[in-house]
Amino acid sequence: MTLSALISFAHSRLSWAILAVSALALELAALYFQYGMKLDPCVMCIYQRLAVFGLLGAGLLGLTAPANRLVRVAAGTLWGISSIWGLKLALELVDMQNNPSPFSTCSFLPEFPSWLALHEWLPQVFMPTGMCTDVPWQFAGVTMGEWMVVAFATYLAALVVFLIPILKSSRA
């Protein structure tokens, strides 16, 4: 794909819709794991869920005006922050699961700021009920935490590919 094609795609609603829909699919999968499969999310899972909501927000923001550079840069910034934070959290969770230690545990409640008490406002989505060291699910020998490392790394790699197209003017 040429740079001009990437620029055109990054400036289209389709690219931002793909970001938003993929993040929404991850959120729905998380809720299915929690309520359909009865797998309790830990506090690190909840933080990763929030990072995925950041990706969803980035996609929705980009959808509002994809031809506007300021909107793309704001959405790309949110995309980057959410991807990096999510990847950091997923790597920490995998480390906790692979190297359990009584000295390295996660808290029972999320440490959201008092002005953003998501676990109190929407406990069905943001209240952790599991332990970080538990590995309740695997697919193809890969844990859920490890799959989230793959997911966040993929989002970050996609952002790297689209960084210049996001920053370029529509007239380029």
Query: Residue 170 has what pLDDT?
Result: 67
Is 69 annotated as catalytic? no
Say if residue 160's pLDDT is above 80. yes
The 3-state secondary structure of 131-167 reads CCCCCCCEECCEEHHHHHHHHHHHHHHHHHHHHHHHH
pLDDT digits (tens, 9 = 90+) for 21-69: 999 999 999 999 999 999 989 899 999 999 999 999 999 999 999 999 9
Catalytic residue status for 132 = yes
pLDDT above 90 as % of the chain = 52
Rounded Cα distance between 140 and 142, Å, is 5
Is the pLDDT confidence value at 133 over 80?
no
Closest by alpha carbon to 130, among 58, 44, 17, 64?
44
Band (131; pLDDT cuts 50, 70, 90): confident
108: its two tokens: 């029972």
65 SS3 class: coil
What average pLDDT does the chain have? 89
pTM (2 d.p.): 0.89
**143 band by pLDDT with thresholds 50, 70 and 90:** confident
Question: Residue 138: helix, strand or coil by DSSP?
Answer: strand
Task: Please give the structure tokens belonging to residue 94.
Answer: 């995998």
Q: How many CA atoms lie within 13 A of 146 on its CB side?
A: 11
3-state helix, strand, coil in the chain (%, to 5): 70, 5, 25
**Does 106 qualify as catalytic in the annotation?**
yes
Annotated catalytic residue, options 13, 69, 72, 106: 106
Residue 162 reports pLDDT greater than 80: yes
27 or 101: whose pLDDT is higher?
Answer: 27
Residue 105, pLDDT above cutoff 80: no
For residue 128, which of 160, 89, 79, 162 has the smallest C-alpha distance? 89
pLDDT of residue 3: 81
Of the candidates 49, 69, 72, 171, the residue annotated as catalytic is: 49
Annotated catalytic residue 45: yes
pLDDT of the residue at 171: 58
Residue 13 designated active-site: no
Residue with tokens 């069905």: 124
